[in-house]
Structure 1
Amino acid sequence: MLDERVKPLLSEAWDTATMPPGIIGSLAPLGLMAPEGVSEEEADSSLYKGFRSYVLARTDVSVATVYNAQAGLFRATVRLGGSPEQVAELDPRIKRFDLTGVFALTEPEHGSDIAGGMATTATRDGDEWVLDGRKRWIGGAVTADVLAVFARDTADDQVKCFLVPRESEGVRIETITGKVSLRPMQNADFTLEGVRVPESARLQRVDSWRDVSKIMGTLRADVAWIAAGLQAGALEAAIDYVREREQFGRKLAGFQLIQEKLARMAGNAVASLGMVVQLSELQDRGVFSDANSSLAKMWVALRARETVALAREIAGGNGITMESGVARFFADAEAVYSYEGTHEVTSLIVGRALTGASAFV
């Protein structure tokens, strides 16, 4: 299905920096969050969700990212942050894509330091909350039904989360243009000015940054899986290219230097897959560790950078055009390397676990 319905849309999606409705239109009916014949326990497993991300990213990283904005970021926020009543009401709608939403955490001036630097505020006013602030890099915000906005409570200085309808009075959203990675994925800046939401829109189990960290801890594994999947996609694209491209009177596939690069790519891809499988198996046994997920995200994203660079070398000048699938993976690896924890931040989480000493400033 991905090859038949999604891949043909990708070159135009990249050129126009738009996400064709046919992509989600093809994926949503498949019910990948709760597939037929798969038990609820299996569908909720880290391993199942990981391979779902892997297969989507193997096709295209923007496709995996836009799907995970709903199935990963938004759904996890509601399921882990909402009350039992909120989860019972909202989760079935999220699975069906009847209610779409996004994870709005980062801000123009606060990315890696968002835990201590969050400037968006929430002020209680009777049975309502008043939200003010700005958010940046929010994927899917321009089309989502609701925005899961994290804000600092002015009363206790703790982080809370609110489901804000996109068309609320006081919400202004602007698509970020000029991106060189994840071009089809519509990231946005948005501003909240005196936006009022009822107490019922507050997710009842998000009362501090610790609660936010629990949500994010389950999501970093998804990014590591995406980084593994994009390597598989880049390897496939490079192999397809060298089997067709001729230089010096023969196919590139028969050159020793080309095969050496492909072998290194394969080694990275296999090792990365092994690491994320091990991470998910640990999580499915109840072993959740920030250090483990950070290590996987850090290392696999770093390997992805090397893998896509080798693919780009193999494709030569054509590796920066849509003539091959290589260019998309080459550019998108840069975004994956940075989001959901930069290389530096994830390495410090690992270092803290190894030494017992925090090097954060």
Structure 2
Amino acid sequence: MAGKRVAGGGGREEDGSKVGLPAMDLALAFPQATPASIFPHSVSDYYQFDDLLTTEERSIRKKVRSIMEKEIAPIMAEYWEKAEFPFNAIPKLASLGVAGGTIKGYGCPGLSITASAITMAEIARVDASCSTFILVHSSLAMVTIALCGSEAQKQNCLPSLSQLCTVGCWALTEPNYGSDASSLRTTATKVPGGWHIDGQKRWIGNSTFADVLVVLARNADTKQLNGFIVRKGAPGLKATKIENKIGLRMVQNGDIVFNKVFVPEEDRLPGVNSFQDISKVLAISRIMVAWQPIGISMGVFDMCHRYLKERKQFGVPLAAFQLNQEKLVRMLGNIQSMLLVGWRLCKLYESGKMTPGHASLGKAWTSRTAREVVSLGRELLGGNGILADFLVAKAFCDLEPIYSYEGTYDINSLVTGREITGVASFKPAALARARL
């Protein structure tokens, strides 16, 4: 040990070797409460939402809940802390039988939009990163191919994607175009036999390991939006992981660079010829995203409910204190309102009545309301509210990117505002006048 100096506060020597003992097992360090690796029972359905569901919808909900609690809950904190995706869990996620959601045929489950939304919530209840992985793969990549692809493309891609034998991603967002996604600058130039794609994408979930990349690019001739299926390993394609995220740490978001990536003509999606064609995909995905905060809130409530009954202070369980009960009830009330908004959104879609404003309000409302739920949950758990082992800290962080993706709260509010007033307010008034 001579000649070595311990760096302040880190528990390590300057040469990187560790000092001191490894962390105590949580069951010994804090025996008063059960960690989220043993997931709590679901107790958040206070208004008996299950009564609104069909037998099939209740069955798939029960199946997904069981697999997520038994197979994913024990490993989620470890992989979240490492910011790594649990590739060994892909067979378990495949066994959920939800990839492809509402798509009929091609090995897909053909679920109702309500059943698909409920499964998204059940996945998010245990782990938001896994729900985002499924969302990108299923509700964006697979749905785009199903709605906008040729029959040959559907036959070629969807069966493997539905079994998670291959993984998909969906590339729209760019470094300079997030909320203003329709202004994207990635280009597709016609060349003999196909297309060359040039440009850059950012924040693309699953992109570092996806086998099938659904890429949106601007046609260099028509200036309209086109869609393409790009295969993993294509020459000129480079995807690198975005590091240092504080939320959805298991999700592998990436920066993608396209340098004259050749895409054969048969891999151009014939149904994508404008941004409006993508809107029908976003209509489905925005419903799914609206249900992620619902699921996260359910998991946080379930964890807090168990924790307050187990953890004792001043000789009684924390559940015995009036302030704690009020917070728990406020969380429960928020969840009931979110469930009913989410359910009604599904019914509007199924009846053909859902508008972009409906979908945007649903996503904005659930993500905003869930923020209060997870914040109250963090308060209720005290010091343990900052430990991923008890779920709430992880959920608190995971909700933040969901609050912003698939349209930030503000942008979704403006979509609904435009619909109810007839006036678009996306650009500052002075800028809009200057462009006249």
Q: CA deviation at 1:34?
A: 7.2
Q: Deviations over 1:50-108 (max 9, x none)?
A: 01101101111101111222221111111111123322332222212233210111011
2:415 corresponds to 1:349: yes
Aligned to 2:318: 252
2:189 corresponds to 1:123: yes
Aligned ranges 1:49-128 → 2 under 5 Å: 49-116=116-183, 118-128=184-194
Inter-CA distance 256–220: structure 2 relative to 1 (3 Å threshold)? same
| Preserved CA contact (<8 Å) 1:43 1:49 | no
TM (normalized to structure 1)? 0.95
Instruction: Identify which range, 276-285 or 94-103, moves more after superposition.
Output: 94-103
Inter-CA distance 95–244: structure 2 relative to 1 (3 Å threshold)? same
| Preserved CA contact (<8 Å) 1:234 1:326 | yes
Greater fraction helix: 1
Aligned ranges 1:290-329 → 2 under 5 Å: 290-329=356-395
How many residues align structurally? 358
| Preserved CA contact (<8 Å) 2:378 2:392 | yes
2:251 corresponds to 1:185: yes
Query: What amino acid sits opposite 1:101 in the alignment?
Result: G
Larger radius of gyration: 2
Aligned to 1:279: 345
Q: CA deviation at 1:172?
A: 1.1
Inter-partner Cα distance in structure 1 for 2:346 and 2:266:
34
Q: Deviations over 1:220-248 (max 9, x none)?
A: 00000111111101111111221222222
TM (normalized to structure 2)? 0.79
Instruction: Identify which range, 67-76 or 350-359, moves more after superposition.
Output: 67-76
| Preserved CA contact (<8 Å) 1:122 1:132 | yes
2:224 corresponds to 1:155: no
Structure 2: state its 5+ residue gaps.
1-66, 428-436
Structure 1: state its 5+ residue gaps.
none
Inter-partner Cα distance in structure 1 for 2:297 and 2:95:
27
Inter-partner Cα distance in structure 2 for 1:280 and 1:16:
36
Query: What amino acid sits opposite 1:237 in the alignment?
Result: M
Aligned to 1:262: 328
Query: What amino acid sits opposite 1:31 in the alignment?
Result: G
Query: What amino acid sits opposite 1:290 in the alignment?
Result: P
Inter-partner Cα distance in structure 2 for 1:279 and 1:160:
29
Q: CA deviation at 1:146?
A: 1.7
Give the % identical residues. Answer: 38
Secondary structure of 2:95 counterpart: helix
Inter-partner Cα distance in structure 1 for 2:306 and 2:148:
44
Quick one: which of 142, 159, 173 aligns to 2:239? 173
Q: Deviations over 1:188-223 (max 9, x none)?
A: 111011111101111110011111122112210000
* Root-mean-square deviation over aligned CA pairs: 1.8
| Preserved CA contact (<8 Å) 2:309 2:318 | yes
Instruction: Identify which range, 84-93 or 287-296, moves more after superposition.
Output: 84-93
2:74 corresponds to 1:15: no
Inter-CA distance 174–91: structure 2 relative to 1 (3 Å threshold)? same
Q: CA deviation at 1:20?
A: 1.1
Query: What amino acid sits opposite 1:287 in the alignment?
Result: K
| Preserved CA contact (<8 Å) 1:181 1:331 | yes
Query: What amino acid sits opposite 1:209 in the alignment?
Result: F
